[in-house]
Chains A and B, each alone.
Chain A
Amino acid sequence: MTDRLDVRKTYKLFIGGAFPRSESGRTYEVTRPDGAFLANAAKASRKDGRNSVLAARKGYAAWNAATAYNRGQVLYRIAEVMEGRRAQFIADVQDAEGCSDTQARAQVDAAIDRWVWYAGWADKLAQVLGSANPVAGPYFNFSVPEASGVVVAVAPQDSSLIGLVSVLAPILVSGNAAIVVASTARPLPSVTLAECLATSDVPGGVVNVLTGDPVEIMPWLAEHADVNALDLAGITDDALATDLERAAAGTVKRVRRPEAGADWFADPGLSRIRSFVETKTVWHPMGV
């Protein structure tokens, strides 16, 4: 049996449901932790970031208008499609993190199971976070959670898949659209995930995945007026995080600060979902 020469993949960005190269034409070399060459990933630019915001705003309109039941099914579908690509994800995570086969398997299994967990939340959030309010007067009054809009997230730098999914899924479940900047040094699992998203009935633009350097892209996205919220999970430089938070103040964005040493395998709770929902309260008089 002869060794077959493998066909290698071109790793691109994921914007508006398509896989473009960076408009800047730039790439950067991605290696295994031992230094071996893996691929040239697209190096997203400011313009790619802006294009993503445009795509996300459109994606948000469709995604937010979908029924919660439908969103739940789509998120579950992501898990189904990932399950079919389990071997590829295990290889990707091993390459990215230099971890053992066992560790990579554990991470991929946890990531798939996390989508299943969040899928189930889609049609329960309004019941758990919402309320009927007994106001002192003849009014019907209720509160419901609603998506904040377009959320930009920096995926954790260390955890290439479970970290990424743990940040992305809670943004999507309530109806937000996301732009996620992947781990700079370990971006390839995010591209494989994007390929799953593209074939999981997630409307185009609902998730946009940028590979590259958050130091370069994030300042523009943090001050972008059509971005509603930031998740700075993967920002490791305190000074940069502070600058981004300051820039976000210009349009009163919701900001989730970086979490050093977060355990991405732990029970996520509702904290991340809560960070990217608003509460809407509706009043109506009662009478005949």
Chain B
Amino acid sequence: MTFEYAPAPESRSIVDIADAYGLFIDGQFVDPADGRTFPTVNPATEEILSTVAEAGQQDVDRAVRAARRAYEQVWGPMSGRDRGKYLYRIARLLQERSRELAVLETLDNGKPIREARDVDLPLVAAHFFYHAGWADKLEHAGFGPAPRPLGVAAQVIPWNFPLLMLAWKVAPALACGNTVVLKPAETTPLTALAFADICRQADLPPGIVNILTGAGDTGRMLVEHPDVDKVAFTGSTAVGQQIMRGLAGTSKRLSLELGGKAANIVFDDAPVDEAVEGIVNGIFFNQGHVCCAGSRLLLQESVADEVLTSLQRRLSTLRLGDPLDKNTDIGAINSAAQLERIHELADSGDAEGATRWTAPCPLPDRGYWFPPTVFTGVTQAHRIAREEIFGPVLSVLTFRTPDEAVEKANNTPYGLSAGIWTEKGSRILWMAQRMRAGVVWANTFNRFDPTSPFGGYKESGFGREGGIQGLGPYLDSDVVDHEATVRIGFGVTEVAR
């Protein structure tokens, strides 16, 4: 017996998308100096949602200048208490406009409204609340008695969790007393532009938050701008490496949150149904557009068949389609370019001899879609076991002993996350200790919280976002020469330059 679902679309009338957007610099929307623009589309329908400005060098200069002035004259001298109160205001405004922002995020990104509404937006507000409270307590955070802000932060974020990545970047930067120039991804600029409006509603003084839309060139101009003190980037390892090279020889501070190829390890004593839910959440959450996705499933040999059968049965029930439908599990792939990359890597799986299984779900006629896909018979040498696919594609490998599981899990240049499924507590801790990964989920997967530091080992980057550790990348705690310091209103001391 099958149950049919009636359509349950979330109304998009709650959002009001302008025909065109400028750049948000020094508290106002302005046209780009050279007038260049580009469209942003709904990946589920290929409908053009709006036209946004492409920031060039002059715009980057202008935004950094505004951020510098705001840092020196307004945000730097402001007390931690007042900075915190602005962040609390922003957190409340985000909550008030949460439904609108969730719908907007789903339209621009293609993720299911259920995820935008229940995961992204609650976490966005929570990040601002958490960091608001830090603003006047930084001297207690373990970075010395007088940690200082760094200055102007250039922040470049990806398209997979557009507003959440903005929150992860902007909230700690502002709490620590820095001002920001943020570039959202070119395919998902709309919620960042809506955030500019929230800054307006919060009466945040001009120049503290500046938003520049654009593509890779804009990002490069921003991070390489000589008057930027801090660069924070989330995205691919290849671009992270380019940024590292570009910053070599400068005094800019850098934090990187890059790619991953996480192992999700299932032992023979794991409860199969729970593990299957975790596997599904691990790789099919957000269409697999998750840097910490559990994209390599490591099954203990004795239970591999049982888990796979159960997994395929579960995947057959996933509903793919209209992201605004509240019953949708799998939304649209974010862009045509990303869809092509997923196809290319999946095809390499076929070519290299792995066995493909595709969930039996119909794909809509328009938009960018890829069905949940599982490859079995994967070896460690296959590209689908080594390269980040960033899509709903799971590669399954097997192991016999815990030592072998450790070897295989760590056999990657990445080190962002790992999953462990077993009922045995001592084995969880033994495995967790051996995972060369920044986040280890045991008997769960893809959980996030502002109090919980997130970030990678090895080529997955460095620096943490969230938690007390996440403040470090936005603070200069190396000052030991207290005699050379002068008091400023920051509530801590600032070195005279």
Contacts and interface: CB of A to CB of B under 8 A. Distances in A.
B428 A284 contact: yes
B145 to A, nearest CB: 11
Contacts of B447: 135, 137, 139, 283
Given A143-B467, A279-B469, A284-B444, A252 B455 contact: no
Contact of B469 (A131, A251, A257): A131
Chain A, interface size category, equals 35 or more
B126 interface: yes
Contacts of B439: 280-283
A228 B462 CA distance: 11
A108 to B, nearest CB: 23
A48 B95 CA distance: 59
Chain B, interface size category, equals 35 or more
A136 B127 CA distance: 12
B223 to A, nearest CB: 13
Which of A228, A266, A267, A280 has the most CB atoms of chain B within a 10 A radius of its CB? A280
Interface string A197-215: 0000000000000000000
A250 interface: yes
Do most interface residues of chain A lie in helix, strand or loop, or is the interface mixed?
mixed
Contacts of A283: 439-442, 444, 447, 452
B377 interface: no
Contacts of A143: 452-453, 467, 469
B249 A238 contact: yes
Interface string B444-475: 10010101111101111110100111001000
Contacts of B464: 279
Contacts, number: 120
A248 B452 contact: no
Contacts of A245: 244, 247-249
Contacts of B458: 228, 251-252
Contacts of B457: 148, 278, 280
B413 interface: yes
Given A137-B449, A141-B449, A281 B248 contact: no
B119 to A, nearest CB: 12
A281 B453 contact: yes
Contacts of B428: 284
B241 A249 contact: yes
A67 B128 CA distance: 38
Interface string B380-406: 000000000000000000000000000
Q: State the 4 A-B residue pairs at the shortest beta-carbon distance, nearest first.
A: A242-B249, A249-B244, A245-B248, A135-B449
Given A251-B458, A269-B480, A278-B457, 8 more contacts: A131-B469, A133-B451, A243-B248, A249-B245, A252-B256, A278-B462, A280-B432, A282-B439
